[in-house]
Amino acid sequence: MINQQAVNTEKLLRLHECGQSVWLDNLTREMLHNGELKARIEDGGLRGITSNPKTFSDSVLSGTLYDEDIERLVHEGEDDESIYESLMIDDVQQACDAFEALYRDSEGSDGYVSIEVDPRLAQDEQGTLQEARKLWKKVNRPNAMVKIPATEACLPAIEEALYEGINVNITLIFSVARYRDVAACYLRAVRRRDKEGLELHALASVASFFLSRIDSKVDGYLDAASVSPGEKELAASLKGKAAIAQARAAYADYCSTCESLRWQESLQKKGALPQRLLWASTSVKDEMYPDTLYVDSLVGEGTVNTMPEGTMEAFSDRGTVSKNAIESAGEDPEELAEKLANLGIDMEAVAVELEKEGIDKFIEPFEEGLRSISRQTKQARGDAV
């Protein structure tokens, strides 16, 4: 859980003044029950949250807050997957209710709570779409978001879900090219709704760009590319720079869309919200880098930064806030891509690898959550564990 005493809300509020919203990536039932989530919202620093299968699994195993519900659902004849889903939905509903006033006061810009589709469906368009519809209907809150991975297979599901009025948090974006695909899905969905006279303002979406994993992967390739003395020096100078360059390029695209007359005249005036970029995977993986790297460098108007608790605490203690820092952060994206290519590093190929690994990393805690539920249900049934 967040250590409230360790978080200085002042800097989080300053990010909001710069047009960036701070979300947290680990919803727990504990913070719902002990008033922690409510306090963070009222302090003004926290403007959204996402559910996390790993945190959920740990919470089920380490506490007792789910025991009564698990026992009841077992006696009602629910299977393990249904119980997992029911418990997660209940947490998300409670969190949505806690954020309801912020959602209303911000006119739908903030106050969202995300819930993840089964990651085992990441290459299954129809399965993902059906799952998104089911979760959206069961959560039944206007400030919920359904998390769908940005795999090529799921792009049609993303567009269709958005067209149907489902708020979507599009995850596992590792390249500017895939971000453009995702942004195009949103624009097509909004235009389809507009053409059919459907409400635009109630629809919201974020495109979640995963950052630290990019640097970890590219840094590994840079180490391998250090063959000649010249290459070694060049490779060393490029480490830790790929993610921010990718984010900067994506943000330039985002700004171009928001500033285009077509968007402003045909959709924004009718109430459509922009699909915001969300910076995800913002905890540094290499201790050689500042632990606030993916916050300090990525301040940008109209964006979201979703932080794990450690990063939030570090930023509130020693982070820096500079309005639109992202516009000049790090290396020029095109120049960096060229330098990396000269060392044999293809950023699109890197993105393909990261997407595959990312899906696996989503599936692992999801299945661990199911195993956690299974252990608890066996106890509730009196079976041997």
Task: Identify the CATH number of the domain in which residue 136 sits.
Answer: 3.20.20.70
Question: Looking at the domain assignment, is residue 277 inside a domain?
Answer: yes
Burial-class residue 24 by CB neighbours within 10 Å (0-12, 13-18, 19+): buried
Q: Is 291 helix (H, G, I), strand (E, B) or coil?
A: coil
CA distance 282 to 291: 9
CA distance 209 to 278: 6
Report the C-alpha dihedral over residues 308, 18, 298, 154, rounded to 10 degrees: 70
What is the reported pLDDT for 262? Answer: 79
What is the reported pLDDT for 6? Answer: 52
Picking from 25, 2, 8, the residue whose alpha carbon sits closest to that of residue 283 is 25
Is residue 378 annotated as a catalytic residue, yes or no? Answer: no
What is the reported pLDDT for 12? Answer: 93
Angle 254-259-263 (CA atoms, 0-180°, nearest 5)?
90
Q: Is 64 helix (H, G, I), strand (E, B) or coil?
A: coil
The pLDDT tens digits of the residues spanning 327-369 come to: 999 899 999 999 999 999 999 999 999 999 999 999 998 998 8
Picking from 7, 45, 48, 41, the residue whose alpha carbon sits closest to that of residue 27 is 48
Structure tokens given for 135? 């979760």
CA distance 73 to 68: 9
Angle 298-294-14 (CA atoms, 0-180°, nearest 5)?
55
Write down the pTM of the prediction.
0.94
What is the reported pLDDT for 2? Answer: 45
**DSSP labels, 222-237:** HHHH--SHHHHHHHHH
DSSP secondary structure letter of residue 110: S
Question: Looking at the domain assignment, is residue 5 inside a domain?
Answer: no
Structure tokens given for 317? 């203690």
What is the reported pLDDT for 383? Answer: 66
Question: Looking at the domain assignment, is residue 298 inside a domain?
Answer: yes
Residue numbers of the domain that contains 116:
11-380
Domain count, the chain: 1
Annotated catalytic residue, options 11, 137, 138, 147: 147
Alpha helices in 115-198 (DSSP H): 125-139, 155-163, 176-195
Alpha helices in 239-322 (DSSP H): 242-259, 261-266, 293-296, 309-318
CA distance 134 to 119: 15
Question: Looking at the domain assignment, is residue 1 inside a domain?
Answer: no
Q: Which residues contact 163 (CB under 8 A, 6 or more apart)?
A: 188, 189, 192, 193
Q: Distances in Å between the alpha carbon of 206 and those of 98, 179, 184?
A: 20, 11, 13
Question: Looking at the domain assignment, is residue 2 inside a domain?
Answer: no
Q: Phi/psi of residue 295, each to 5°?
A: -115, -55
Question: Looking at the domain assignment, is residue 3 inside a domain?
Answer: no
Question: Looking at the domain assignment, is residue 4 inside a domain?
Answer: no
CA distance 263 to 271: 11
Rounded-to-5 percentages of helix, strand, coil across the chain: 60, 10, 30
How many alpha carbons lie under 13 Å from residue 157 in its C-beta half-sphere?
Answer: 25
Q: Name residues of the chain where pLDDT drops below 50.
A: 1-5, 384-385
Residue type, 305: N
What is the reported pLDDT for 385? Answer: 45
Question: Looking at the domain assignment, is residue 385 inside a domain?
Answer: no
Q: Phi/psi of residue 361, each to 5°?
A: -70, -25
CA distance 58 to 11: 29
Longest dimension (CA), the chain: 68
Residues, the chain, total? 385
* Buried b or exposed e, range 363-383, using 16+ CB within 10 angstroms: bebbebbbebbbebbeebeee
